[in-house]
Amino acid sequence: MSSETDRLALYEAVLSLISQKREETGDRTLGADMEKLIFDAQFRELEAEILDNPGAFEPWLIRRRRYEA
Protein backbone atom coordinates (compact mmCIF):
# COMPACT_ATOMS: atom_id res chain seq x y z
CA MET A 1 0.00 0.00 0.00
CA SER A 2 2.55 2.54 -1.01
CA SER A 3 0.46 4.64 -3.35
CA GLU A 4 -1.34 7.73 -2.16
CA THR A 5 -4.67 6.41 -3.43
CA ASP A 6 -4.36 3.21 -1.41
CA ARG A 7 -3.38 5.14 1.70
CA LEU A 8 -6.38 7.48 1.36
CA ALA A 9 -8.71 4.52 0.85
CA LEU A 10 -7.32 2.92 4.01
CA TYR A 11 -7.77 6.16 5.98
CA GLU A 12 -11.35 6.41 4.73
CA ALA A 13 -12.11 2.83 5.75
CA VAL A 14 -10.64 3.28 9.23
CA LEU A 15 -12.51 6.55 9.81
CA SER A 16 -15.72 4.91 8.61
CA LEU A 17 -15.25 2.04 11.07
CA ILE A 18 -14.58 4.49 13.90
CA SER A 19 -17.75 6.39 13.03
CA GLN A 20 -19.78 3.18 12.87
CA LYS A 21 -18.49 1.96 16.25
CA ARG A 22 -19.24 5.35 17.81
CA GLU A 23 -22.82 5.09 16.60
CA GLU A 24 -23.15 1.54 17.93
CA THR A 25 -21.67 2.26 21.34
CA GLY A 26 -22.77 5.85 21.83
CA ASP A 27 -19.21 6.69 22.88
CA ARG A 28 -18.27 9.90 21.08
CA THR A 29 -14.62 9.61 22.15
CA LEU A 30 -14.10 6.09 20.82
CA GLY A 31 -11.15 6.07 18.41
CA ALA A 32 -10.36 9.75 18.92
CA ASP A 33 -6.62 9.10 19.17
CA MET A 34 -6.60 7.09 15.94
CA GLU A 35 -8.71 9.73 14.23
CA LYS A 36 -6.26 12.46 15.32
CA LEU A 37 -3.33 10.37 14.08
CA ILE A 38 -4.94 9.99 10.65
CA PHE A 39 -5.81 13.68 10.33
CA ASP A 40 -2.31 14.72 11.44
CA ALA A 41 -0.76 12.38 8.86
CA GLN A 42 -2.98 13.77 6.12
CA PHE A 43 -2.09 17.36 7.04
CA ARG A 44 1.64 16.52 7.08
CA GLU A 45 1.35 14.93 3.62
CA LEU A 46 -0.57 17.91 2.26
CA GLU A 47 1.90 20.36 3.78
CA ALA A 48 4.85 18.49 2.28
CA GLU A 49 3.18 18.39 -1.13
CA ILE A 50 2.48 22.14 -1.05
CA LEU A 51 6.02 22.96 0.02
CA ASP A 52 7.50 20.71 -2.68
CA ASN A 53 5.34 22.22 -5.41
CA PRO A 54 3.63 25.40 -4.16
CA GLY A 55 2.19 26.54 -7.48
CA ALA A 56 -0.29 29.38 -6.89
CA PHE A 57 0.32 29.23 -3.11
CA GLU A 58 3.94 30.39 -3.45
CA PRO A 59 3.31 34.14 -2.84
CA TRP A 60 1.68 33.30 0.51
CA LEU A 61 4.32 30.89 1.78
CA ILE A 62 6.87 32.03 4.29
CA ARG A 63 10.18 30.21 4.30
CA ARG A 64 11.29 29.12 7.74
CA ARG A 65 14.95 29.04 8.56
CA ARG A 66 16.20 26.06 10.46
CA TYR A 67 18.37 27.06 13.36
CA GLU A 68 21.19 24.79 14.33
CA ALA A 69 22.50 24.81 17.85
Give the per-residue pLDDT at 4. Answer: 82
Give the per-residue pLDDT at 65. Answer: 65
Reply yes or no on whether the pLDDT at 64 is more than 70. no
CA distances to 11, 17, 26, 27, 65 from 41, rounded to whole Å, are 10, 18, 26, 24, 23
CA distance 38 to 53: 23
CA distance 43 to 11: 13
pLDDT (tens digit, 9 = 90+) per residue, 2-59?
688 898 899 999 999 999 999 999 999 999 999 999 999 999 888 888 888 888 888 8
pTM greater than the 0.75 cutoff: no
Give the per-residue pLDDT at 21. Answer: 96
**Cβ atoms within 10 Å, residue 42:** 13
